[in-house]
């Protein structure tokens, strides 16, 4: 049996596709954004092929060595990258979707979820530096991303994730542990 609150959230999720006005340009914006992320992942894969692979059964030393080597390779390959290179024209699209979904979620549930593990809420010993190519500190927790947003935002490949740092949204390369791009103050 599903209670009333769950029913509301489910109804919201079910209606999500048709709930927001889909502008003709949105399709192209999402397509372009996805292409830029794919390009990033292609580059990441190419860099990975030049360093010792990380196997399913690795030691802590192998994990650390691999992550550091990959981070260094990504940072070097993207040394000229700047904020907005990946989000680019999708910036307004992300702001609109996030604001709309957070507003529609009942009982402030999605906002509360974003606070879970958010480094601004649970300050780590090493603060997260909001910069392209900056390493995401191992000591920092990661924010939970509400399913309602993950089901609405463009899907990302396995090694890149959306995360929140305070009110800012980052694209996090989870294998190199670096920030690929970010948008500031997307949570209204």
Partner 1 sequence: MARWIRHSYGRSFAVLLVFLALPSFGQDLLLPNSPDSLRFAVIGDTGTGGRAQYEIAREMEKWHTTKFPFELVLMLGDNMYGDEDPRDYRRKFEIPYRPLLRAGVKFYASLGNHDDDDQRFYEQFNMQGQRYYTFRPKAGVRFFALDSNYMDAKQLDWIRSELSRSGSEWKICFFHHPLYSSGGRHGSDEELRAVLEPIFEEHGVSVVFSGHEHFYERIKPQNGIYYFISGAGGKLRRGNIRKTEFMGKGFDTDYHFMLLEINGDEMHFQTISRKGKTVDAGVIERPKEARPAAVAAGESLK
Interface residues with partner 1 (CB under 8 A)?
A: 1-2, 5-6, 9-10, 13, 54-64, 66-67, 105, 107, 109-110, 113, 116-117, 124-125, 138-139, 141-148, 150-151, 155-156, 158, 161, 174-175, 177
- Shortest distance, position 58 Cβ to partner 1, whole Å: 4
Token pair 């260094």 is found at: 72
Q: Which is nearer to partner 1, 113 or 133 (CB)?
A: 113
Among residues 84 and 116, whose Cβ is nearest to partner 1? 116
Return the sign of the alpha-carbon dihedral for residues 152, 154, 157, 160: negative
**Contacts for 188 with CB less than 8 Å, ≥ 6 apart:** 98, 99, 102, 103
CB 104 within 8 A of CB 140: no
Least distance (Å) from partner 1 to the CB of residue 100? 16
Closest to partner 1 by CB, 24 vs 55, is 55
Residue closer to partner 1 (CB basis): 72 or 84 = 72
**Based on the number of CB atoms within 10 Å of its own CB, is 61 exposed (0-12), middle (13-18) or buried (19 or more)?**
exposed
Q: What residue has token string 């190419």?
A: 46
Q: Using CB atoms within 10 A of its CB, is residue 19 exposed (0-12), middle (13-18) or buried (19+)?
A: middle
């Amino acid at each position: 049996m599903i209670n009333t609150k769950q029913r509301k959230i489910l109804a919201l999720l079910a209606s999500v596709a048709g709930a927001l006005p889909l502008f003709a340009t949105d399709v192209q914006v999402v397509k372009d954004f996805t292409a830029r992320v794919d390009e990033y992942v292609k580059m990441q894969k190419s860099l990975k092929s030049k360093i010792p692979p990380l196997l399913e059964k690795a030691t802590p030393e192998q994990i650390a060595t691999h992550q550091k080597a990959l981070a260094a390779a990504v940072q070097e390959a993207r040394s000229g990258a700047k904020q907005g290179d990946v989000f680019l024209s999708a910036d307004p699209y992300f702001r609109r979707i996030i604001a709309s979904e957070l507003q529609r979620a009942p009982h402030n549930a999605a906002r509360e979820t974003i606070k879970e593990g958010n480094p601004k809420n649970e300050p780590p010993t090493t603060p997260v530096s909001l910069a392209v190519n900056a390493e995401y500190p191992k000591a920092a927790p990661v924010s939970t991303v509400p399913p309602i947003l993950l089901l609405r935002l463009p899907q990302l490949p396995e090694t890149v994730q959306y995360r929140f740092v305070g009110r800012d949204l980052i694209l996090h390369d989870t294998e190199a542990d670096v920030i690929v791009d970010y948008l500031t103050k997307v949570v209204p």
